[in-house]
Structure 1
C-alpha cells in the first residue's frame, strides 16, 4: 500500500506527497502531460527534443546539473508517446534545491540559440545511432507506421522525419514550450523522507508564482478499426531474418487492459511462455521470441517479435506463430498457467515499488490517468482476470484482420 496526500496550487499544478521516513533521500518527479502523440504531424520529435532542451539551463541557472551535483543529487528524464517525465533524487535535507531547479526552468527556460543547436545535433545523432546505424533499428518505426494510419502513435517519439528537428525554429520551440510546459499541464510528486506541510510550503514558494497556461484540450484523431491484414517486407544488412507483429488492443483504462497484458505474458513473457517453449525450445524455429503490450494511454498494440534461426523460412516461422496463437484460442488456459502469469505480473509491481523513484513515477502516471489510487489497485485488477477472458480477447484480437506484420529479411544469408 502506497500512502499519499495531495493538493492543487492556484495555478493548477497538482502535487502529490508520499512519505517514507525509512530513507534519508527524496525524489522530486515532475510529469508533463505531453508526449509525441501531441505533436503536429509536420513538426514531430518536439516532445523528445524538449527532454534535451530542459537540461540546457534557464535564465537564472545556466548550468542545471552543477548545483544538483553539489548537493549530492542526480537527475534524468524520458519521453514516451504519452508523457514527458523529469526526476531528481537527492538527500532529503537538500529538497529545496530540487524545487528551485525545476520551478526555474518551468518559469524561464533560457531559449539560448546555442543550446538549441547543440541539442538539435544530439537528437539527430541519436536518431542515426538508434534507427539508421543499428541492426533492426528501424523495425518498430516501420511497424508503427504499418499498424497506425491516423493516430499519432504512427510515429516514434524521436519523430516521423528527422528533418522536422533539423528545420525546427526558435519560434517553433517557444510555441511548444508555452503550450505544454505550464503548471496546469503538470503533476509533481515528492516522495521519501519528507513532511507534507514542508512540501506544500516549498511548492507554494517556488511553483506558486508561475502563471498557469491556456488549458490544453486533447483532441486526437481516433484510429479506425483495422479490417484487413497488413504486411510489409524489408531487406537489410542484419544477421538474421525477423518477424514483427502488432495487434490492436484496448486503451490503458479499458476493463480489458490487464487481460491483454496477461495474454501477452502467456504468449511471450520469458522462457516458460508458449511462444518460447514451442518455437525456440521445441521446434527451433526462432533464436528468441517475445510478446508484450505497448501500455499506451490510447488504444495500443500487443506486439510479437522474434528472430529466426538460420535456414528457417519465413513461411514456416509465420505458421509456427499462428499455431501458438490458435492454441491460446482453442485450448483452455490451465489454472496453473494463469496463476504463473499473474504471479509474474504482481512480482513486477512489488519489485518496482521497492525503489522510491519508481513509486514516484508510478504515482505521477496514475494521477495523470485521472486515478491516483490505481497505484494501489493494480494487483486487484490483475487477480480479477479470468482464463476465459484471456481466451475471448485472443479470439477477438489476435486475428488476421487486426494484424500488421513486418517481415525483416537479412541480406547476409
Structure 2
C-alpha cells in the first residue's frame, strides 16, 4: 500500500504528499495536463518544445540547473501525447530550493528570443537524429498517420513535421504556455522523508500566489471505428526488412485495457513467449519480434513489430503473426500462461514502486486518471482478468478491418 495525503491550494494546484522515512532525499514531481494531443495540427511538437524551454530560464531565475546542482539536486523531464512531466530529486535539507525553482517556472518562463532559438535548435537536431536519420526512425510517423484519421495521436510527440518547430515564434510559445501551464492544470507530487504538516506551509509560500489561469478547453475529436485494413509499403536504407502491425484498442480507463496488456505479455514477454518461440526459434521468420500496447489515456494501439530474417517476405511473416493471434482468439493458451504473465506484472509493478521517483510520478499519473489511490488497485485489476476476458477482447481486437500494417522493406 502506497499511502499519501492530498490537498488543493486556492489556485487549483493539486498536491500529493507521500512519506518515506528511509531516504534523506525528496522527489518533487510536477505533472502538467498537456501533451502532444493538445497541439494545433499546424503547430505540432510544441508540448515537447516546452519540455526543453522549461529549463531555459524562468521569470526570476535565469538558469534552472545551476542552483539545483549547487543544492545537490538533479532533474529530468519527459513529454508524451497525454501529459508533460518534470521531476527533481534533492536532499531534504534543500527542499525549499526545489520548490522555489518549480514554482518560478510555473509562474512564468523568461520568454527570451535567445532561449527559444537555442531550444528550437536542440529539438530540431533531436528530430533529425532520432526520426529522420536513424534506421526505422520514421516508423512512428508512418504508423500513426495510417491508424488515426482525426485524433491527434496521429502524430508523435516530436511533432508532425520539423518545419512546425522551425517556424515557432515567441508569441506562439507564450500563448501555448498560458493556455496550458497553470496551477489549476497541474499536479504536484512530493515523495520522501517529509510530512504534510511540514511541507504544506512551504508549498503555500511558493505556489499559493501563482494565479490560476483560464485553461484552453480540450476538444479532441473521437477517432471513428476503422472499417477496412490499411496497408503501406515503404523502402528504406536499413539493414533488414521489418513489419509493423497495429490494432485499435481501448482507452486507459477501460477494463479491457488490462486484458489487452496481458495479451501482449502472453505473446511477447521474454524468450519463452509465443511469438519468440514460434516465429523466431521454430519458423525462423524473424530475428526479433515484440508485442506491446501504447499505454495512452485515449484509445491507443496494440503493436506487433518484428525484424525479418533475410529473404522472408513480409506477407509470409504477417500470415504467421495472424496465425498466432488466431490461437489467442480461439483460446488455445493455458491458464498457466495467463498466471505467469500476471505474476510477472505484479513483481515488476511492486519492484518499480520501490523507486522514490517512480512513486512520485505514479501518484501524479493516477491522480490525472481520476484518483491517486488507483496506484494501489492496479495489481487487483490485472489479477481479475480471466481467460474468457482474453477471448472476448482478442476476438474483437484482432480483426482484419481493425488493423494497419507497415511493410518496411530494406533496399537492396
TM bin, normalised by shorter chain, reads over 0.9
Could you say which residue in structure 1 is the equivalent of 2:383? 383
Which residue matches 1:153?
153
Listed one character per residue, the Cα deviations across residues 307-327 of structure 1 (whole Å, up to 9, x for unaligned) are 001121112211110111111
Task: Work out the CA distance in 1 between the residues paired with 2:135 and 2:250.
Answer: 31
TM-score, scaled relative to structure 2: 0.99
Distance 1:109 1:43 in 2: 20
Which residue does the alignment assign to 2:352? 352
Unaligned 5+ residue runs, structure 1? Answer: none
Q: Which residue in the other structure is 1:45 paired with?
A: 45
The answer to whether the Cα contact below 8 Å between 1:242 and 1:407 also exists between their aligned partners in 2 is yes
Shift of 1:93: 1.2
Q: What does residue 262 of structure 1 align with?
A: 262
Deviations 1:148-168 (A, max 9, x none): 000000001010111111101
Q: 1 CA distance for matches of 2:180 and 2:198?
A: 27
Instruction: Give the alignment's Cα RMSD to 1 decimal.
Output: 0.8
Q: Which residue of 2 aligns with 1:241?
A: 241
Matched residue, 2:174? 174
1:362 is matched with: 362
Contact 2:112–2:170 (8 Å) recurs in 1:
no
Deviations 1:389-411 (A, max 9, x none): 11111111111010000000000
Paired residue for 1:232? 232
- Please name the residue that 2:281 is paired with: 281
User: Which residue does the alignment assign to 1:334?
Assistant: 334
Number of equivalences: 412
Structure 2: any 5+ residue segments left out of the alignment? none
Are the aligned partners of 2:44 and 2:164 in contact in 1 as well (CA < 8 Å)? yes
Larger deviation, residues 118-127 vs 268-277: 268-277
Query: Secondary structure, in 3 states, of the residue corresponding to 1:222?
Result: coil
SS of equivalent residue, structure 1 residue 292 = strand
SS of 1:307's partner is strand
Tell me the residue number matched to 2:185.
Answer: 185
Distance 2:177 2:287 in 1: 45
Q: Tell me the secondary structure at the aligned position of residue 184 of structure 1.
A: helix
Give the structure 2 partner of residue 77 of structure 1: 77
How far off its partner does 1:331 sit?
A: 3.4
1:108 shift after superposition: 2.4
1:394 is paired with a residue whose SS is helix
Which string of whole-angstrom CA distances, capped at 9 and with x for unpartnered residues, describes residues 247-271 of structure 1?
0010000111100110111112221
Deviation sequence 1:67-104 (CA, Å, 0-9, x none): 01011100010000000000000111111111000001
Q: What TM-score does the superposition give when structure 1 sets the normalisation length? A: 0.99
Any idea what the Cα deviations from partners look like across 1:360-383, whole Å, max 9, x if unmatched? Answer: 000100001112111000000010
1:17 is paired with a residue of what secondary structure?
Answer: strand
CA distance in 1, matches of 2:184, 2:115: 26
State yes or no: 1:203 paired with 2:238: no
> 2:5 maps to what in 1?
5
